[in-house]
Structure 1
Amino acid sequence: MTFGITTFVTDEGISGPALGAALEDRGFDSLFLAEHSHIPASRQSPYPRGGELPRMYYRVVDPFVTLAAVAAVTERLVLGTGVTLLIQRDVIHTAKEIATLDQISNGRFVFGVGAGWNREEMADHGTDPRTRGALLDEQIAALREIWTNDLAEYHGRFIDFDPMYSWPKPVRQPHPPIFIGGGKAAADRAVRHGVGWFPTAVTDPAEIPAQLAMLEGNDRPVMVGAVAPDPIMIEAYLEAGVRDICLSLPTVSESETLAILDDYTKIIDKYRSAGR
């Protein structure tokens, strides 16, 4: 059983290094950071959780640079993206960024990746929202090719490169763990690629069985993100067999964050003391 944090680090809240050090000091297992390159001023894509888009989406920092800084002040904390919007990125550059971060952190990186929801944002990167799923499939395959082969090549509909060299290679072999973030489509993609699934927590414990059933009996690792710091929700996910839980952390000042983490620590310590 592991307990981590999913959050948005911004230029207005606690810094990444301060947050990482605080989490490690309190016994948390992991930190997963969100990514958005920008927010288009004219946007019709609805916010998935309803209402206005929260301020943190506009102010979020780059997760890879931030996690590298966190790696420098921690020793055991697992560092992940929750999630990387790979469809808005160059796959060759991203392969090198991830391998470099895995080197810096001595194999502590976990790659959370998703197809995204903000169609205007992805369109600004030249990505067609209608084919982003197929693009993501090829990008994941290309990343694995680059990470695991000294001489790598890939030829697909969207990603196409001739034999090439790219170092460093990741510390973790054959490559950092991959978790696909999202709902049913993400669960299906995780099964196809033989990787983990990273769904966002539901808000009602009664919805958990139906959520986990999206894997349709396939035995893939499951890590649930943005879980409310509510013992009822935590208990429900544990009872359903989920052993990797990331609590949702709001984006607030350093002093407020540390107070919240102290409260979270009291919650998770009860499960650890019980040997759950």
Structure 2
Amino acid sequence: MRIAVTIFLTDETITPTRLARELEQRGFAGLYLPEHTHIPVERTTPYPAGGDLPREYGRTLDPFVALGQAAAVTRALGLGTGITLVAQHDPIDLAKQIATLDHLSGGRFTLGLGYGWNVEEAADHGVAWRERRESVRDRMGLMRALWSDEPTPYDGPYARVRASHAHPKPAQKPRGPVVGPRTLIGGAAGPKLFSHICEYADGWLPIGGRGLSQTVPALRTAWAEAGREPSALQVVPYAVLPSAGKLAHYADLGIEEVVLQLPPAGETEVLRLLDEYSAHVTGASDTV
């Protein structure tokens, strides 16, 4: 089992370069970073976890800039977003950012994408909240067109581009309907989410990893009904607080990668916790 981590990197935490080097030296599989462009002060959307919104949400580093730094100081560490708020981006610009990072890192990028929860943040980007899922689906179609080997036009209800020369291309090769880097979709289990995963992604990024005994079989059924290769489906529990029993349970479900949560802290605390998590990295090969 591959063990990766996620962390809210901010202007107050350990730096991307120091963390990336330490992760690779300890044998971790990857680093996933979240995204929030800003947090409006006048906010009515409740924090999904309850209580006050933690300080780090309004101080988060841009994930693509931070991952670019991480890529430059590592050779094998996976680099991912958890998650990219695709509806808040110009898809032509985002396609270029993603392709560049995947190209420069030698195909190490994972696009974790999602639909968001902060209505006010999305509204400042011009996102129509009830339409955000279909908007994300449409933007992904446009990006796949730009990542195609030949100039390919795209004309959808939310995004369009003429047939264009667009380089670099992502280093990763197409997998079934998926063109571009490895793509995982975050969100709560359900038929709509699973249909999007089966249509244009490599798998699911379930936050917290609860209830997977029931939801993973349902996703596998939807995946098979969509004609996707059964062995290609990837389920990656995200932002997990680890225990040996929990990781063994995931292994029993056929899960091959888990993303552990790190606190948004300075070097001393983060490195101390990495040393604790390293025990799971060492023992992970014995659980699959």
Structures share a fold, TM > 0.5? Answer: yes
Deviations, residues 88-136 of structure 1 (Å, cap 9, x unaligned): 0000000000111112211111111111111110000001111001101
Is there any run of 5+ residues in structure 2 with no aligned partner, and where?
175-179, 224-229
- Once the 2 structures are TM-superposed, how far is the Cα of residue 230 of structure 1 from its aligned partner? 1.8
1:64-213 to 2 correspondences below 5 Å:
64-174=64-174, 175-184=180-189, 185-202=192-209, 207-213=211-217
Residues 189, 237 of structure 1: CA spacing in aligned structure 2 closer, same or farther, 3 A cutoff? same
- Once the 2 structures are TM-superposed, how far is the Cα of residue 7 of structure 1 from its aligned partner? 1.5
- Once the 2 structures are TM-superposed, how far is the Cα of residue 214 of structure 1 from its aligned partner? 4.5
Cα distance in structure 1, aligned partners of 2:213 and 2:237: 13
- State the identity %: 39
Residues 214, 56 of structure 1: CA spacing in aligned structure 2 closer, same or farther, 3 A cutoff? farther
Deviations, residues 11-36 of structure 1 (Å, cap 9, x unaligned): 10101111111100000011110000
8 Å contact 1:115–1:132 — kept in the other structure? Answer: yes
Residues 55, 24 of structure 1: CA spacing in aligned structure 2 closer, same or farther, 3 A cutoff? same
- Once the 2 structures are TM-superposed, how far is the Cα of residue 195 of structure 1 from its aligned partner? 2.5
Question: With structure 2 as the length reference, what TM-score do the two structures score?
Answer: 0.90
Residues 194, 36 of structure 1: CA spacing in aligned structure 2 closer, same or farther, 3 A cutoff? closer
2:177 is aligned to none
8 Å contact 2:102–2:181 — kept in the other structure? Answer: yes
Amino acid paired to 1:35: E
Cα distance in structure 2, aligned partners of 1:26 and 1:146: 37
- Once the 2 structures are TM-superposed, how far is the Cα of residue 67 of structure 1 from its aligned partner? 0.5
Cα distance in structure 1, aligned partners of 2:53 and 2:247: 26
Amino acid paired to 1:193: Y
Cα distance in structure 1, aligned partners of 2:53 and 2:217: 29
Cα distance in structure 2, aligned partners of 1:214 and 1:19: 36
8 Å contact 1:224–1:245 — kept in the other structure? Answer: yes
Deviations, residues 225-245 of structure 1 (Å, cap 9, x unaligned): 111122222222112221111
Moved over 4 A (4+): none
Q: Secondary structure in 2 aligned to 1:38?
A: coil
8 Å contact 2:32–2:80 — kept in the other structure? Answer: yes
Q: Give the number of equivalent residue pairs.
A: 272
RMSD: 1.5
Amino acid paired to 1:198: L
